């Protein structure tokens, strides 16, 4: 298929359609409202449904309902909206339902601002809602990757029967890039007859599927948590995705960065190379599971003297980086989170300060 | 290109109205005209004319933006200064509207000042954008914009591009589409655009309209200028 020019938000909407998603529920919020604007036009053409909830709290439970019935379902929102949905996300995780959540992150905390931010890293990777659960979180660095990750998200949500999140800072939603939609990323739903609710159809079969998050019996609750833990362990073994940029050189500094921020770091690395200074970047594509081993190994390369995590936050992913580096190298941090994205020149100054 | 008076730059969402408006303003200013440009985009939260304010002002173009305190808001604020610059006659006043029918709704609020003034409204089309890749899609959006703006579209502009990946064939494809829309609607093709990189590769004999060179002003932060 020929390339088209799309905004990240539009491309995420189209990718969901191409992945077979027929159910999209959302509530508008800048900077992701274009997903709804796009899907309100496109979904009816595909026989799908877009329903605007009365709030993000309602949307969260609309997602739970559709996911519990085994339907491919997605919502998109931005930071404060995801906060409101977090209760439902916890329920969805507890009840083992596949669903796709997209967070096009804006500045926070509180109402913050409408410009790009990565301040929701903790919320995405460490919880947001209550209880022992995780989302599988993928962070695209551009519109093409947003397409591929959105399509993949439906497959992974079903593989692990749980919520999957695409976390893009505001620029990922708002920027335009040429994209194409790969045909080979669409998968067919697999075993939903074994677990999804089926309305009155249970009378026809012997087994009635029950989707629930309430386990009053302590053994049953412990077992459910063990089942969740086993899934997260499997994700750590099978789903870690990352990119090591300029990693085959004798780099002196290792940057860890993701999303839009990694694009700026990439330009800074290219500019530093022209000056004869080698710097590498490890870019997690999955924020959970985190590329723990890859970060450790990249940091421990002999030539590497320091690691720096560069984020559009006040220091969130850096905590995971420190954990993975295990004290073998100093781990520094640089971040801004008002909405202005640091320039390549700024990053170069920071890196030179480490040499 | 012969533009004077008031020119509204409209088109579907993401068609490249702002880059077109900015570069049209710069091209006209370079011929010695007095040029004003107003950012009427109340729809799009990022990549608006306001982000190109400094290079435009350096060229001597008057840029009308919302009040500074609202510059980064997503509120539908129309600066009273916009009505003022329409009233004060300049050689050329460019109004950069927001996308789709929603984006030009603001023009209805300016109806009283636009009344009895010659207004040209351009429809910017990028064939590689969703919803305007064929004649029917372009005409549908045209009718929606006209109904919402309460003004007729007077000319077509092809802004065919895939950003850095644009080739001459892409420009030709866009030109061919607007020619077809022109044949169907009777509207003239006022000009087409081409980025600086692809411009020297084009066979200019293929076009019967002017070509506006585009020097991209709204770049993501990792692009080196």
Among candidates A161, A324, A52, A6, which has minimal Cα distance to B16?
A6
Return the CATH number at A164.
Answer: 3.40.50.970
CATH 3.40.50.300 fits B5-214, yes or no: yes
- The answer as to whether A204 is a domain residue is no
Those residues whose C-beta lies under 8 Å from the C-beta of residue B165, and which sit 6 or more positions away, are: A3, A178
pLDDT tens figures, B142-172 = 999 999 998 999 999 999 999 999 999 999 9
As for how many domains chain A has, the answer is: 2
Is A268 found in the same domain as A175? no
Q: Of the candidates A185, A214, A236, which is a domain's last residue?
A: A236
Residue A257, in any domain of the structure:
yes
Residue A87 lies in a domain: yes
- Chain B CA closest to residue A173: B46
Non-local (6+) Cβ contacts of A117 within 8 A are A79, A105, A106, A107, A108, A169, A170, A312, A313, A337, A339
Residue range A171-190: mean pLDDT, rounded: 91
Torsions phi, psi of A352, nearest 5? Answer: -60, -30
Q: How many residues does chain B have?
A: 225
Mind listing the pLDDT tens digit for each residue in A335-344? 999 999 999 9
If asked whether residues A129 and A31 sit together in one domain, one would say yes
Q: Which residue has the higher pLDDT, B28 or A202?
A: B28
> What is the mean pLDDT of the segment spanning A180-191?
87
Q: Do B72 and A113 touch (CB under 8 A)?
A: yes
> Tokens at residue A350, please?
């920071």
B74, A263: Cβ pair inside 8 Å? no
Residue A206 has pLDDT above 70, yes or no: no
Poorest-pLDDT segment among A112-121, A258-267, B105-114: B105-114
Beta bridge partners of A168: A104
In the predicted model, is pLDDT for residue B75 greater than 80?
Answer: no
Longest dimension (CA), chain A: 72
Distance CA B55, CA B80 (A): 23
Can you tell me the distance from the alpha carbon of A152 to that of A258, in angstroms, rounded to the nearest whole number? 18
pLDDT value at position B99? 84
Give yes or no: residues A23 and A170 share one domain: yes
Q: Is the preceding peptide bond at A289 cis, omega within 30 degrees of 0?
A: yes
pLDDT the model gives residue A274: 97
**So what's the ipTM on this one?**
0.91
* A117 shares its domain with A41: yes
A221 contacts A215 by C-beta, under 8 angstroms:
yes
Residues of B in contact with A6 (CB under 8 A): 14, 129-130
Rounded CA separation A265/A350 (Å)? 11
- Tell me the average pLDDT of chain A: 95
A215 is a domain residue: no
- So what's the pLDDT on residue A162? 97
- Does residue A31 have a cis bond before it (omega within 30 degrees)? yes
Query: Percent of chain B scored above 90 by pLDDT?
Result: 64
Q: What is the pLDDT of residues A307-350, one digit of tens each?
A: 999 999 999 999 999 999 999 999 999 999 999 999 999 999 99
Residue labelled with tokens 């009378």: A203
Task: Give domain status of residue A205, yes or no.
Answer: no
Q: Tokens 């077979």 sit at which residue? A: A20
- Strand spans (E) along chain B: 5-11, 35-40, 62-64, 92-97, 119-125, 155-158, 189-195, 211-214
Test B163 with A177 for CB contact under 8 angstroms: yes
Closest to B165 (Cβ–Cβ): which among A3, A260, A264?
A3
- Distance, in Å, from the CA atom of A122 to the CA atom of B50, rounded to the nearest integer, reads 33
d(CA A296, CA A28): 40
Tokens of A54: 């009365």
Other beta carbons within 10 angstroms of residue B76's beta carbon come to 12
Residues A59 and A120 in one domain: yes
Interfacial residues of B (vs A; Cβ cutoff 8 Å): 13-14, 44-47, 72-74, 126, 128-131, 133, 161-163, 165, 220-224
User: Does some domain include residue A81?
Assistant: yes
Answer whether A178 sits within 8 Å of B165, measured CB to CB.
yes
List beta partners, residue A164.
A100, A136
Q: How far apart, in whole angstroms, are the C-alpha atoms of residue B17 and residue B141?
A: 14
Q: Is A255 helix (H, G, I), strand (E, B) or coil?
A: strand
Round to whole Å and give the CA distance between A342 and A346: 6
Alpha carbon of residue B196 to chain centroid = 18
| Burial call A5-27: b when 16+ CB within 10 Å, e when fewer | bbbbbbbbbbbbbbbbbbbbbbb
Give me A34's structure tokens.
Answer: 């274009």
- Cis preceding linkage at B149, omega within 30: no
CB A14, CB A42: distance < 8 Å: yes
Q: What is the mean pLDDT of the segment spanning A279-286?
A: 98
Residues A191 and A76 in one domain: yes
From the number of C-beta atoms within 10 Å of its C-beta (0-12, 13-18, 19+), residue B171 rates as buried
Residue A302 lies in a domain: yes
How far from each other are the two terminal CA atoms of chain B, in whole angstroms? 27
Q: How far is A130 from chain B (nearest CA, A)?
A: 32
Q: How far is B129 from chain A (nearest CA, A)?
A: 5
Q: What is the CATH number of the domain that holds A262?
A: 3.40.50.920
Please report the pLDDT score of residue B114 as a whole number: 86
Average pLDDT, chain B: 90
Closest-approach residue (CA) in chain B for A261 = B222
pLDDT in tens, B8-17: 999 999 999 9
Range of the domain at A289: 242-352
Residues of B in contact with A178 (CB under 8 A): 128, 162-163, 165
- Measured between beta carbons, the chain B residues lying within 8 angstroms of A271 are 224
What is the pLDDT averaged over residues A285-311? 98
Dihedral sign of CA atoms A125, A127, A132, A133 in order: negative
Question: Residue A216: inside a domain, yes or no?
Answer: no
């Amino acid at each position: 298929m020929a390339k088209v020019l799309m905004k990240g938000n539009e491309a995420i909407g189209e990718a969901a359609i191409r992945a077979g998603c027929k159910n999209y529920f959302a509530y508008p919020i800048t900077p992701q409202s274009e997903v709804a604007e796009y899907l309100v036009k496109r979904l009816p053409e595909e026989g799908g449904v877009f329903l605007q909830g009365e709030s993000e709290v309602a949307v969260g439970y609309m997602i739970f309902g559709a996911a519990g019935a085994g339907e491919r379902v997605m919502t998109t929102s931005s930071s404060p909206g995801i906060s409101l949905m977090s209760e439902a996300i916890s329920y969805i995780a507890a009840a083992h339902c596949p669903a796709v959540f997209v967070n096009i992150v804006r500045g926070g905390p509180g109402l913050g601002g409408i410009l790009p931010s990565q301040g929701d890293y903790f919320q995405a990777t460490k919880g947001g809602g209550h209880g022992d659960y995780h989302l599988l979180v993928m962070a695209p660095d551009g519109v093409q990757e947003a397409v591929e990750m959105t399509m993949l998200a439906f497959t992974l949500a079903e593989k692990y029967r749980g919520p999957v999140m695409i976390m893009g800072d505001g620029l990922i939603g708002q920027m335009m890039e040429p994209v194409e939609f790969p045909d080979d990323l669409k998968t067919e739903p697999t075993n939903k007859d074994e677990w999804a609710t089926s309305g009155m159809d249970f009378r026809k079969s012997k087994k009635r599927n029950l989707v629930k998050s309430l386990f009053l019996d302590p053994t049953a609750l412990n077992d459910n948590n063990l089942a969740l833990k086993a899934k997260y362990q499997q994700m750590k073994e099978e789903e870690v995705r990352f990119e090591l940029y300029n990693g085959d050189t004798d780099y002196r500094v290792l940057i860890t960065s993701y999303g839009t921020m990694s694009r700026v770091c990439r330009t800074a690395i290219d500019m530093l190379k022209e000056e004869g200074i080698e710097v590498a970047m490890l870019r997690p594509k999955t924020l959970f599971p985190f590329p723990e081993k890859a970060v450790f190994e990249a940091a421990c390369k002999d030539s590497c003297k320091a690691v720096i995590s560069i984020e559009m936050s006040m220091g969130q992913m850096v905590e995971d980086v420190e954990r993975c580096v295990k004290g073998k190298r100093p781990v520094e941090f640089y971040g801004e989170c008002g909405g202005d994205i640091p320039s390549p020149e700024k990053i170069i100054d920071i890196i030179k300060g480490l040499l | 290109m012969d533009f004077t008076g008031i020119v509204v730059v409209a088109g579907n969402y993401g068609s490249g109205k702002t880059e077109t408006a900015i570069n049209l303003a710069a091209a006209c200013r370079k011929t010695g005209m007095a040029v004003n440009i107003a950012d009427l985009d109340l729809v799009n939260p990022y990549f608006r004319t306001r982000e190109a304010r400094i290079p435009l002002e350096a060229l001597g173009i008057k840029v009308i933006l919302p009040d500074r305190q609202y510059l980064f808001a997503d509120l539908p604020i129309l600066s009273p200064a916009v009505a003022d610059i329409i009233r004060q006659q300049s050689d050329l006043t460019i109004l950069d509207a927001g996308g789709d029918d929603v984006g030009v709704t603001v023009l209805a609020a300016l109806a009283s000042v636009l009344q009895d003034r010659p207004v040209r409204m351009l429809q910017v089309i990028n064939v590689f954008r969703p919803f305007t890749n064929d004649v029917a899609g372009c005409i549908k959006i045209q009718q929606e914009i006209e109904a919402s703006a309460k003004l007729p579209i007077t000319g077509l502009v092809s802004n065919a591009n895939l950003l850095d990946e644009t080739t001459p064939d892409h420009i030709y494809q866009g030109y061919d589409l607007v020619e077809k829309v022109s044949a169907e609607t009777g509207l003239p093709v006022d000009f087409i655009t081409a980025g600086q990189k692809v411009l020297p590769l084009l066979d200019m004999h293929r076009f019967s309209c002017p070509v506006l060179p585009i020097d991209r002003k709204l770049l993501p932060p990792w692009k080196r200028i």
